Amino acid sequence: MSSVIPSGATRRAFLVGAGSLPFLARRAAASELTVLSSGGLNAAYLALAPDFQRTTGHTLTSVGASSMGAAPDAIPQRLTRGEPADVLLLADGGVPPLEARGFIRPGSRVDIARSLIGACVKDGAPKPDISTLDAFRQTLLNARSIAYSASASGVYIENEMYRKLGIHDQVMPKSRRILSERVAAVVARGDAEFGFQQVSEIITVPGVTYLGTIPEEVQPPTIFCAVITANSRQPEAAQALIRFLASPEAAPALRRTGLEPLTRG
């Protein structure tokens, strides 16, 4: 789903003032940018986008897209179909395959934020213990059903984490990869008892209780980054958006949505 982001006000806690963004000088000719944004960065990006538009005059069309995978809305699938895009916001693991296929402008990558995998249950459900590795392992063995993302965190859970815990064969039959939807939404409906996804993709969804991050021993920090597509017709405006998202002024919105900013200067 895509939408043109309005330039009106949004919640003030997320926004940065125009006066604090001297590098975003208004261009004589405004540009239209299409941004494919994965779930990990999407909440912060959508909150910050109106101020970027107001300050620069550029127009942003936002398209939700997972960083990787075979789902129809995944970034690789959208680009393969020839859908237009100027900026990609995605997990770093999704970058090399796109670079190899020539979809990304060389040297355009900028790291924006660090993200961790979290867990959730439905509001009102008992809160299982995930505070230690042993408790976490037992919680997964006890869970009746488990949901995980089809993107970066889910690929890791399915291919690596369950094996590290030594429970792959026991839990895979009751685990389900969620395509084109937030895992937390599935848990909130009661369609899964326990859910995994990036913290930023859990805490903004109503109807679930966030349990915390998974144990450090099996936690793979994910870097979310921004790149310019090879076919972008507005590379200068795209670069301005990326500088904005990586700026210290954007950091509060990133933190508010469960991310650790990787600011510069």
Report which residue type is found at 119: A
Residues 203 and 189 in one domain: yes
Residues 56 and 180 in one domain: no
Residues 121 and 168 in one domain: yes
Rounded to whole angstroms, the Cα distance separating 244 from 112 reads 10
Residues 100 and 24 in one domain: yes
pLDDT, tens digit, for every residue of 53-100? 999 999 999 999 989 888 899 999 999 999 999 999 999 999 999 999
Residues 108 and 6 in one domain: yes
> Given the structure tokens 């993709």, which residue do they identify?
201
> Given the structure tokens 């936002």, which residue do they identify?
62
Name the 3-class secondary structure at 155: helix
pLDDT, tens digit, for every residue of 198-213? 999 999 899 999 999 9
Report which residue type is found at 221: P
Residues 11 and 54 in one domain: yes
Strand locations in the chain, DSSP E? 2-4, 32-37, 59-64, 87-91, 110-115, 117-122, 146-149, 175-178, 194-198, 208-213, 222-228, 260-261
Residues 129 and 255 in one domain: no
Residues 169 and 68 in one domain: no
Residues 100 and 173 in one domain: no
> Given the structure tokens 């944004």, which residue do they identify?
37
Alpha helices, H only, the chain? 39-56, 75-80, 95-100, 133-142, 152-156, 162-165, 168-171, 183-188, 235-245, 251-256
Residues 84 and 71 in one domain: yes
Q: Residue 14: is its pLDDT beyond 80? A: no
209 and 122 Cβ atoms separated by less than 8 Å: yes
Domain that holds residue 198: 117-218
Which of 136, 142, 133, 177 minimizes the C-alpha distance to 156?
177
Residues 142 and 200 in one domain: yes
> Given the structure tokens 């670069």, which residue do they identify?
239
The Cα-based distances of 163 to 135, 156, 218 in angstroms read: 16, 10, 10
Give the pLDDT band (50/70/90) at residue 2: low
Residues 65 and 133 in one domain: no
Angle between helices 39-56 and 235-245 (to 10 degrees): 110
58 and 232 Cβ atoms separated by less than 8 Å: no
Mean pLDDT of 166-193: 96
Give the number of domains in the chain: 2
CATH number of residue 6's parent domain = 3.40.190.10
> Given the structure tokens 């959730």, which residue do they identify?
120
The pairing of strands 194-198 and 117-122 is antiparallel
pTM: 0.78
